[in-house]
Amino acid sequence: MPGRNPVEGRHIALGVTGSIAAYKAAAIASALAQEGGLVDVLMTPQATQFVAPLTFEALTHRPVVTDMFRLSNSEISHVVVSHSADVLVVAPATAHTIAKLALGLADDPVSATALSTRAPGLLAPAMETGMWQNPATQAHIQTLRDRGWLVADPVSGHLASGATGEGRMAEPEQVVDIVHQMLGRSGDLAGRHIVVTAGGTREPIDPVRYLSNRSSGKMGHAIAEAARDRGAAVTLIATVALPPLAGMEVVAVERAEEMRDAVLHLLNRADVLVLAAAVADFRPAQLADQKLKRRDGVPELVLSTNVNVLEEAKAQRGAARKPFIVGFAAETENLLGNAREKFAKWGIDLVVANDVALEGSGFGSDLNKVTMLRIGGDMVDLPLLPKIEVAHRLLDEVIALGSKV
Ligand code: CTP
């Protein structure tokens, strides 16, 4: 589908500088090329000591710029790249290159491209701990942030020196995730705020035990990712810690009450509210102060009705019908019958009926089989698809239905 992946068909200039982490740039180039990105790699002379240009040429199927004065169709190659780039990623970025970028020096293909391009930039610093923490490097990083560069912060871990410390380059997946965020800014949800709930709530019994359900949070996570990739400002209210996504606000909650509070707090600001979380309908009536002990015998668990996030959000938005509300109906039987009943009862804008009993679909899986029920009563039945694709189809519906979003 066109326009789904913000990387597809876009020009990504990837500047590789002379650090042992240069091998990780191969994984970045490979991932972006596989997603349909047009990846133009630029290398400093030092970078070519670590990885051969041929590696990048083979991965991207495009020429690699290693020479400041090489011509491409009678034009200087790095100038061509700097003009075509939709984003410039410098990964790994050494302390020396960071200093050059801050000062505006331009004596190698990477720094020259950085100076001439208008594209937004991302740095993935990689260096020894002392270099990273040095006030000179930190000042340069701040200068670059002030000019609009994003930084994939280095992490603590094993360094080339054999020591362990801060300065290790962010993982390629994280760099690619930030590239998605940057390229998604101009997407069809730019300017919209989407709030997504994800995961099963945990309702405490005592300080160590809780009642919960099989929801993995993956569907909500995928919706948050897809919305971000289409330019939305996203708040993810989640009970689970899945791999973090760049460029969104994450609110960690456990209980339904906390989820309700977080949702209602954001309700006025949200254009779209997607309730993908599996909220426990019942919670223990009593919360024991201390761990229940075996010697005290089998406890009698008395349950009470939990808060209903959907109903409260619906009531609070009133007649304005903003935000646009999407609810999920997780069913193990009579999918459409139950979902239609819920659609009529809830009076929200879109209901996504989720077949959680189907093999390979639903809780914990990376795939999902859903049917969407829209205002007016018609349905969109989707085949079993990866959750990220289901997320995009759901957002397509939100956009199509929501002249009001
Ligand atoms: N939901 C909610 N608060 C609850 C229960 C559910 O906000 N206490 C939301 C879920 O996030 C989901 C939708 O309501 O978007 C439907 O949840 P589901 O469990 O399918 O609906 P119920 O009305 O609880 O129906 P059932 O009897 O099948 O559990």
What are the tens digits of pLDDT across the range 368-387? 999 999 877 688 999 999 99
- Is residue 343 in contact with ligand 1, taking CB distance under 6 Å? no
What is the predicted pLDDT for the residue at 74? Answer: 73
In ligand 1, the atom with minimum distance to the C-alpha of 354 is 20
Which whole number is the average pLDDT over 71-91? Answer: 89
DSSP at 233: E
Cβ of 263 closer than 6 Å to ligand 1, yes or no, is no
The domains found in the chain, sorted by start residue, are 11-183 (3.40.50.1950), 187-401 (3.40.50.10300)
Given a cut of 50, whether residue 120 has pLDDT beyond it is yes
CA of 311 to the centre of ligand 1 (A): 9
Q: What is the mean pLDDT of residues 8-24?
A: 97
Is the model's pLDDT at 240 over the cut of 70?
yes
- Residue 290 identity: Q
Q: Which atom of ligand 1 is nearest to the CA of 327?
A: 15
Residues facing residue 157 across a β-bridge: 165
Pocket mutation for ligand 1, best pick of 203, 281, 325 (most atoms within 8 Å of C-beta) = 281
Catalytic choice (134, 213, 308, 338): 213
Q: Which atom of ligand 1 is nearest to the CA of 197?
A: 11
Q: Is 327 in the pocket of ligand 1 (CB under 6 A)?
A: yes
Helix (H, G, I), strand (E, B) or coil at 120: coil
At residue 68, the pLDDT reads 86
d(CA 372, CA 329): 10
67 burial (CB, 10 Å; 0-12 / 13-18 / 19+) is middle
Q: Which residue among 308, 317, 325, 354 has the greatest number of ligand 1 atoms within 8 angstroms of its CB, and so is best to mutate?
A: 308
Strand ranges for 306-401 from DSSP E: 324-331, 350-355, 367-368, 370-374, 379-381, 385-386
Is the model more confident about 274 or about 157?
274
pLDDT (mean) for 47-72: 93
- What tokens were used for 151? 């930084």
Establish how many alpha carbons lie within 13 A of residue 389's alpha carbon, considering only the half-sphere containing its beta carbon: 12
- 329: Cβ below 6 Å to ligand 1? yes
Residue 362's nearest CA partner among 388, 395, 384 is: 384
Residue 213 known to be catalytic: yes
Q: Cβ contacts of residue 277 below 8 Å, gap of 6+? A: 197, 198, 199, 200, 201, 215, 217, 220, 237, 238, 239, 259, 309
* Residue 329 Cα to ligand 1 middle (Å): 7
Mean pLDDT of 303-322: 93
Cis ω before 92 (30° cut-off from 0): yes
Which is it for strands 209-211 and 203-206: parallel, antiparallel or unpaired? antiparallel
Ligand 1 within 6 A of 219 CB? no
- C-beta of residue 358 within 8 angstroms of C-beta of residue 366: no
Confidence of residue 2 (pLDDT cuts 50, 70, 90): very low
Burial pattern 193-225, b for ≥16 Cβ within 10 A else e, equals: bbbbbbbbbbbbbbeeebbebebbbbbbbbbbb
Residue nearest to atom 16 of ligand 1 (CA): 329
pLDDT confidence of residue 163: 85
Kindly state if the Cβ of 223 falls inside 6 Å of ligand 1.
no
- Residue count (the chain): 405
In angstroms, how far is CA 299 from the centroid of its own chain? 42
Pairing status of strand 367-368 against strand 87-93? unpaired
Nearest atom within ligand 1 for CA of residue 310:
7
User: Tokens representing 404?
Assistant: 């009001």
The residue with greater pLDDT, 312 or 342, is 312
Determine the atom of ligand 1 nearest the C-alpha atom of 328. 15
β-strand partners of 273: 195, 325
CA pair distance 293, 299, nearest whole angstrom: 9
Q: How buried is 305 (Cβ within 10 angstroms: 0-12 exposed, 13-18 middle, 19+ buried)?
A: exposed
Q: pLDDT class for 200, splitting at 50, 70, 90?
A: very high
- Please give the pLDDT value at position 402: 80
pLDDT band at 124 (very low <50, low <70, confident <90, very high): very high
CA distance 25 to 171: 10
Q: How far is the CA of 226 from the centre of ligand 1 (A)?
A: 23
% of the chain beyond a pLDDT of 90: 81
- Predicted pLDDT of residue 1: 47
Write the CB contacts of 163 (distance below 8 Å, at least 6 apart in sequence): 128, 129
Confidence of residue 356 (pLDDT cuts 50, 70, 90): confident
Average pLDDT, the chain: 93
Q: Give the C-alpha separation, 224 to 27, whole Å.
A: 24
